[in-house]
């Protein structure tokens, strides 16, 4: 837990420092005048820098963060028959969908889970938990690997990053627009304006929280949609019955996901707070969707 908290704080601090430097470069370039942002165009540039910047920095560092936070060990040279089979299966599936060979890793966790991450289709990581290897038959593990390879082939990591960047941008932008309107109303028309007042800053904070919740619902909806697509991809690569059996095995395990929050959306067994904020559809719905497609 301490390791994950440290990583979260260090990563976010690094992102804020880097984006602040980028913003200063933008200001120095003359695109945005110094001082309080006066135009909506300039404000939108500011929002985009911070909205997309954090998402893309997280994407670029996703493999390193995933390995560090889960303790995943990449299989450089298979030590036994199981590791050799994992590498061979991922290699075969990657060739089937036409992507570069992902790194294959195992992380220590009693919960059956797996995830895929990486900055591009040809620079990805597929990892499975020790709990998944112990709980599932080989045919079921094959389907789970197909599910994760399908995520990579579909470009889900990049697409989710773009969507997160768009909603982040509009949350930052609209929060400050609303904050400016509230601040103007509280000050009155005749009062000279020189920067944002307390009304502006309080409103921005409240709006970022409220709008951020709606933004999370949008991102979660897309995440649920791409899980159905990855299930279909896993069924195509390994076989429909294998994919259904793997999902049934996950449904029988009620332990949930113990992945770090940054990886929850990329695990085959995800989670979330409530129906609208969950990164994954109910497993029963996923099984039914596969059965109906047959």
Helix 156-187 × helix 198-238 angle, to 10°: 160
Burial status of residue 77 (CB atoms within 10 A of its CB: 0-12, 13-18, 19 or more): exposed
Q: How far apart are CA 197 and CA 187, in angstroms?
A: 8
192 counts as catalytic: no
Phi-psi category of residue 238: left, alpha or beta, with phi > 0 → left and psi -120 to 50 → alpha: alpha
Give whole-number Cα distances, 105 to 10, 112, 269, in Å.
24, 14, 17
Strands 103-107 and 123-129: parallel
Q: What six digits make up the tokens of 277?
A: 């904020």
Q: Exactly one of 103, 140, 142, 148 is catalytic; which is it? A: 148
Burial (CB count <10 Å: 0-12, 13-18, 19+), residue 130: middle
Q: Which is it for the CA torsion 54, 56, 61, 65, positive or negative?
A: positive
The residues with which 105 forms a beta bridge, in sequence order, are 74, 127
Residues 276, 267 contacting (CB under 8 angstroms): no
- CA pair distance 115, 267, nearest whole angstrom: 4
Catalytic residues: 148
């Amino acid at each position: 837990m301490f390791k994950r908290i440290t990583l979260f704080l260090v990563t976010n601090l690094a992102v804020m420092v880097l984006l602040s430097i980028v913003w200063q470069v933008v200001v120095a370039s003359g695109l945005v005048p110094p001082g309080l942002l006066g135009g909506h165009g300039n404000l939108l540039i500011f929002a985009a820098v911070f909205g997309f910047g954090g998402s893309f920095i997280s994407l670029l560092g996703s493999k390193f963060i995933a390995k560090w936070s889960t303790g995943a060990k990449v299989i450089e040279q298979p030590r036994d028959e199981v590791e050799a089979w994992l590498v061979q299966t991922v290699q075969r599936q990657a060739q089937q969908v036409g992507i570069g060979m992902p790194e294959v890793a195992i992380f220590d966790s009693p919960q059956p889970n797996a995830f895929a991450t990486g900055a591009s289709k040809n620079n990805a990581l597929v990892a499975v938990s020790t709990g998944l290897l112990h709980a599932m038959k080989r045919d079921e593990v094959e389907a789970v690997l197909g599910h994760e390879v399908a995520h990579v082939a579909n470009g889900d990591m990049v697409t989710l990053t773009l969507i997160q960047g768009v909603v982040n941008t509009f949350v930052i932008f609209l929060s400050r627009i609303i904050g400016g309107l509230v601040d103007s109303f509280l000050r009155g028309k005749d009062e000279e304006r020189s920067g944002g007042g307390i009304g502006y800053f309080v409103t921005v904070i409240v709006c970022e929280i409220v709008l951020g919740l709606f933004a999370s619902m949008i991102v979660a909806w897309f995440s649920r949609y791409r899980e159905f697509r990855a299930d279909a991809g896993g069924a195509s690569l390994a076989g429909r019955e294998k994919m259904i059996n793997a999902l049934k095995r996950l449904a029988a395990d009620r332990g949930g996901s113990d992945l770090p929050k940054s990886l929850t959306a990329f695990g085959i067994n995800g989670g979330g707070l409530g129906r609208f904020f969950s990164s994954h559809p109910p497993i029963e719905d996923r099984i039914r969707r596969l059965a109906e497609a047959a």
